[in-house]
């Protein structure tokens, strides 16, 4: 009989009695003999991709001992594919995004993103692997993703009036048509 140890997705690593193999591998084991099958988790894939152990086809634990049966058998270690989501804010002082930084999410998972502006800023739009200005919004994790929350600085006008009219004057320093939040103006 032929005994196969494989992984889903294929190409992940496993060990038999502590010796590392890349799936799939076939073995000519003697029926009735025992071997310990194991996988490490998570396992790195291409950049921004990793594989997290979920189950063995025979119901065994992540590390378990098998007794070889008399007929050909395949043992499959199943993994969940995860992708990284990296978020950032521009300009960095303008606000926050949730989730922040880099996180791992299961393939096909929808992740809700929200942006919160700091005082003097307003949320503008998303860029990178997400577009539009909906906030909150969601993104489907079907590959590694990078998303930036973009903010714009609020602009304010300062209108000066004199009462009664023509009874004096007021100057603004600096004298500009608009000012940003927190900017000092001398009258």
CA atoms within 13 A on the CB side of 41: 18
Per-residue confidence in pLDDT tens, the chain, 187 aa: 999 999 999 999 999 999 999 999 999 999 999 999 999 999 999 999 999 999 999 999 999 999 999 999 999 999 999 999 999 999 999 999 999 999 999 999 999 999 999 999 999 999 999 999 999 999 999 999 999 999 999 888 888 888 888 888 888 889 888 887 877 888 8
Cα–Cα distance for residue pair 187/172, rounded to 1 Å: 5
Torsions phi, psi for 70 (to 5 deg): -80, -15
Structure pTM? 0.82
- Cis peptide leading into residue 42 (ω within 30°): yes
Cα–Cα distance for residue pair 6/76, rounded to 1 Å: 5
């Amino acid at each position: 009989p032929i005994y196969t140890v494989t992984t889903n997705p294929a190409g992940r690593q496993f060990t038999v009695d502590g010796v590392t193999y890349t799936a799939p591998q076939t073995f000519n084991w003697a029926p009735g003999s025992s071997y310990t099958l194991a996988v490490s988790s998570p396992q790195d894939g291409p950049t921004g991709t990793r594989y997290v152990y979920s189950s063995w086809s025979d119901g065994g634990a992540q590390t378990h001992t098998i007794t070889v049966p008399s007929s050909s058998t395949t043992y499959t270690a199943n993994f969940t594919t995860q992708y990284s989501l990296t978020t950032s804010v521009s300009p960095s002082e303008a606000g926050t995004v949730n989730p922040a930084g880099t996180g791992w999410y299961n393939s096909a998972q929808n992740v809700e993103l929200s942006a919160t502006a700091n005082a003097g800023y307003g949320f503008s739009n998303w860029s990178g692997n997400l577009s539009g200005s909906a906030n909150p919004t969601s993104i489907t994790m079907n590959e590694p993703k990078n998303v930036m929350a973009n903010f714009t600085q609020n602009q304010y006008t300062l209108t000066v009036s004199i009462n009664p009219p023509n009874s004096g004057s007021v100057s603004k320093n600096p004298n500009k048509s608009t000012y940003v939040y927190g900017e000092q103006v001398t009258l």
